[in-house]
Amino acid sequence: MNRKENCFLNEDCIEGCKKHIKDNSVDLIVTDPPYGINGHTLHKHYNRKEGYVLDGYIEIPQNEYPQFSEQWIKQAERILKPGGSIYIVSGYTHLIDILNALRKTKLKEINHIIWKYNFGVFTKNKFVTSHYHLLYYCKPGAKPTFNTYCRYGQNERDGGNGSLNYLDREDVWIINREYKPGKIKNKNELPTNLLTKIIQYSSRESDVVCDLFLGGFSTARIAVGLNRIAWGFELSASAYKHGMNEFSRVKKGALLQTLRKPEGGKLVNQGIRWSRKDLEEIAEKYDKLYQSSKLKRQSIDILSEELGRGYFSILNALKKMGR
Ligand SMILES: C[S@@+](CC[C@H](N)C(=O)[O-])C[C@H]1O[C@@H](n2cnc3c(N)ncnc32)[C@H](O)[C@@H]1O
C-alpha cells in the first residue's frame, strides 16, 4: 500500500496484511475485531430491526478465536512502525484471548481503558453490561505519538476547578453510542467521538491509520475526515460495498474545523532549568498574587500562563522556595 493513498480491500486481513503491507509502515491501528459470539443472539440483544442491521458480518467460531487473535495481532505488530500505537476494542467474552495474544508480542501495554456506553443489554437478575475494553499498546523502538494538549490546554478548568486535560485523559471514557434511526448500519459501529479522541491523541495529520476489521468503515471515515491516510480490510463483500459507498461521501480534512481548540499559551519554557534568580522571582510574584486573595491553584495557573511553564514545574519551584 502507498503511504499517500487511502486503500481498502475486500480481503481477509491476515493474508491481506502479508500480501499488501510492508513491515514498520503504519502509524496507528484502531480496530474492533469480530466478537466470536453468535450473530443472531447479537441481533436479538441489541433489539434492532433485522432489516436495518447490515448482513454479511463475518464471525469467528469461538473455538478458533485464540488462534485467530494471535494471527492478526502478529500482523498488527509487524506492520506498526516503532513508536506506533494500537487500540483494540474488546468485549469481555474474548478479552482473555486478545490479552494472551498481545502477551506473545513485544507490544507494550500503555493503558487498559474502559469505554462506558449507553444502552447496555438489559438484564433483570444481574448487573447491566455497559462497557468495552480499549487495549492501548505501543510498538517499542521509538517515542510514541501522544498529543497531550490536543483537546484541552494545560490550564483549562471545569466549574469545580478540576483540570479538563486531566479529566479527558482518565482511563474511563464515557461516550454514547450513536443512534441512527432508519439507517442501514453495521451492527457495532463505533461512535465518532471515540474514534476522534483516539486519532487526535495518537496520530498526526498525514499519518497512516489502519483498521483490520473495517465493518462500517467508521475508523476510515474519521481518520480521513481528520486529514490522515486510511488503510484497511473487510472480509464481507456486502459490508465492504456498503462501507465504500459511505466512504465516498467523506471530505478529506472536513472534520478538522469541528474540533475544539485547546486554550492556553504554549509552554515555551517547559523543560528549561530554573536559575536561583528565576526561583526568587517566582516566589515574589506568587506572594503578591496570593496576598491579592488568589487561591493557590489560580495563582499557579496565572504564573504558568505568564512564564510559559507547566503547572507542576511551577508547583515544584514554589516548594523549593518554601511556599
Ligand atoms: C466488530 S465489526 C467492526 C465494526 C467497525 N469498527 C465499525 O465501526 O463499523 C468486525 C468486522 O470484521 C469483519 N471481519 C471478520 N473477519 C474478518 C477478517 N478475517 N478480515 C477482515 N475482516 C473481517 C466482519 O465482517 C465485521 O464487519
Ligand 1 closest atom vs CA 72 = 19
Q: 49 C-alpha to center of ligand 1: Å?
A: 20
Name the residue of 194, 210, 214, 240 to mutate for ligand 1: max ligand atoms within 8 A of Cβ.
Answer: 214
Tens digits of per-residue pLDDT, 130-163?
Answer: 999 999 999 999 999 999 999 998 888 888 878 9
Name the residue of 235, 247, 250 to mutate for ligand 1: max ligand atoms within 8 A of Cβ.
Answer: 235
Q: 233 C-alpha to center of ligand 1: Å?
A: 8
Q: 281 C-alpha to center of ligand 1: Å?
A: 59
pLDDT grade, residue 123 (50/70/90)?
confident
Architecture label for domain 7-258: 3-Layer(aba) Sandwich (3.40)
Please check the confidence at residue 54 and state whether its pLDDT lies above 60: no
Name the residue of 18, 58, 177 to mutate for ligand 1: max ligand atoms within 8 A of Cβ.
Answer: 58
Ligand 1 closest atom vs CA 185 = 9
What is the reported pLDDT for 58?
Answer: 85
Of 230, 218, 76, the closest CA to residue 138 belongs to 76
Ligand 1, atom 4, residue with closest C-alpha: 215
Tens digits of per-residue pLDDT, 213-272?
Answer: 999 999 999 999 999 999 999 999 999 999 999 999 999 999 999 999 998 756 667 777
What is the reported pLDDT for 97?
Answer: 97
Q: 243 C-alpha to center of ligand 1: Å?
A: 11
Question: Domains of the chain: which residue ranges?
Answer: 7-258, 276-320
Ligand 1 closest atom vs CA 186 = 9
Question: Phi, psi at residue 61, to the nearest 5°?
Answer: -55, 145
What is the reported pLDDT for 196?
Answer: 98
Q: 173 C-alpha to center of ligand 1: Å?
A: 23
Q: 97 C-alpha to center of ligand 1: Å?
A: 17
Q: How many CB atoms lie within 10 A of CB 146?
A: 15
In three-state form (DSSP H/G/I as H, E/B as E, the rest C), the secondary structure along the chain is CCCCCCEEECCCHHHHHHHHCCCCCEEEEEECCCCCCCHHHHHHHHCCCHHHECCCCCCCCHHHHHHHHHHHHHHHHHHEEEEEEEEEEECCCCHHHHHHHHHCCCCEEEEEEEEEEEEEECCCCCCCEEEEEEEEEECCCCCCCCCCCCCCCCCCECCCCCEHHHHHCCCEEECCCCCCCCCCECCCCCCHHHHHHHHHHHCCCCCEEEECCCCCCHHHHHHHHCCCEEEEECCCHHHHHHHHHHHCCCCCCCCHHHCCCCCCCCCCCCCCCCCHHHHHHHHHHHHHHHHCCCCHHHHHHHHHHHHCCCHHHHHHHHHHCCC
Please check the confidence at residue 42 and state whether its pLDDT lies above 50: no
Task: Enumerate residues lining ligand 1, CB below 6 A.
Answer: 12-13, 32, 34, 57-58, 186, 188-190, 213, 215-216, 218, 233-236, 239
Ligand 1, atom 3, residue with closest C-alpha: 215
Ligand 1, atom 5, residue with closest C-alpha: 215
pLDDT grade, residue 50 (50/70/90)?
very low
Ligand 1 closest atom vs CA 243 = 9
